[in-house]
Amino acid sequence: MEQKQRIQKLIAQAGLASRRQAEIWISQGRVTLNANVAKLGDRADLNEDRVCVDGKELTAGQKKVYLLLNKPVGYVTTLSDPQGRPTILHFLTDIDERLFPVGRLDLNTEGLLLLTNDGDLAARLLHPRHKIPKTYRVKVSGQLSSVAQQKLTRGVELEDGLTAPAKIEHLRSSPRNSWFDLTIFEGRNRQVRRMCRAVGYSVSSLKRVRMANIELGNLASGKTRMLRSDELENLKKM
């Protein structure tokens, strides 16, 4: 049986980065295979071959960590920011493993953010083919009309094409604002804000409350918790 695997896959399995990021490292020459600079497409078996990233040897079977953060508004979803804005690293000071976020939330969006060093699971959750549901609690100015509701649920034309059907739940309104939960099955950049804008509404607050089978629940803003084993099992089945 072929034991050799693509190097970007090995790097992702070891929990250092996503496959995509590992490919970038390979093309930047930061990865070696048995003392030669690795090329995209190279395969290796960690039992026989020595693969290093920035000179540090890759070992099989690192501990996998799955963490949930309730990201507050005002933090960027990266681990370092060239513009010097506060990052989510601020909430991860007690964590030894190098984790990376599964997807993004905008600076002004709060709520559920999954972080892991399991590059394979992260890639699966982010792949559009799997249509992982993400639910956002949305507040918009004004009363959400039934026409706008229909458009949001059937699909809205954005610059990058028609959105997939979405779901609206728990809609309520006051004279000035409307609140609702919007579940989308894609992960385009600023998608919820752009969808609302396209049907004539401006989002005044946005919070992700659910992703796949995982609920934010009452996790306080800025706090983290490890995924429970039942949550992780279900997530891996998706």
* Residues marked as catalytic: 106
**Is residue 117 within 8 Å of residue 97, measured between CB atoms?**
yes
State phi, psi for 64 to the nearest 5 degrees. -95, 135
Taking the C-alpha atoms of residue 226 and residue 92, their distance in angstroms, rounded to an integer, is 12
Residue 8 touching ligand URA (CB under 6 A): no
Q: Is 110 helix (H, G, I), strand (E, B) or coil?
A: strand
Query: Cβ closer to ligand URA: 105 or 152?
Result: 105
Taking the C-alpha atoms of residue 36 and residue 34, their distance in angstroms, rounded to an integer, is 6
Nearest distance in Å: CB 91, ligand URA: 17
Nearest distance in Å: CB 221, ligand URA: 15
Q: Is 146 helix (H, G, I), strand (E, B) or coil?
A: helix
Residue 163 touching ligand URA (CB under 6 A): no
Query: Cβ closer to ligand URA: 26 or 144?
Result: 144
Residue 190 touching ligand URA (CB under 6 A): yes
Query: Cβ closer to ligand URA: 116 or 163?
Result: 163
Query: Cβ closer to ligand URA: 22 or 112?
Result: 112
Of 87-106, binders to ligand URA (CB under 6 A) are 105-106
Residue 209 touching ligand URA (CB under 6 A): no
Q: How many residues bind ligand URA (CB under 6 A)?
A: 8
Contact partners, residue 230, CB within 8 Å, separation at least 6? none
Helical residues (DSSP H) of the chain, grouped into ranges = 7-13, 19-27, 119-126, 146-154, 191-198, 229-237
- What single-letter amino acid sits at 203? V
Q: Applying CB under 6 A, which residues contact ligand URA?
A: 105-106, 109, 190-193, 206
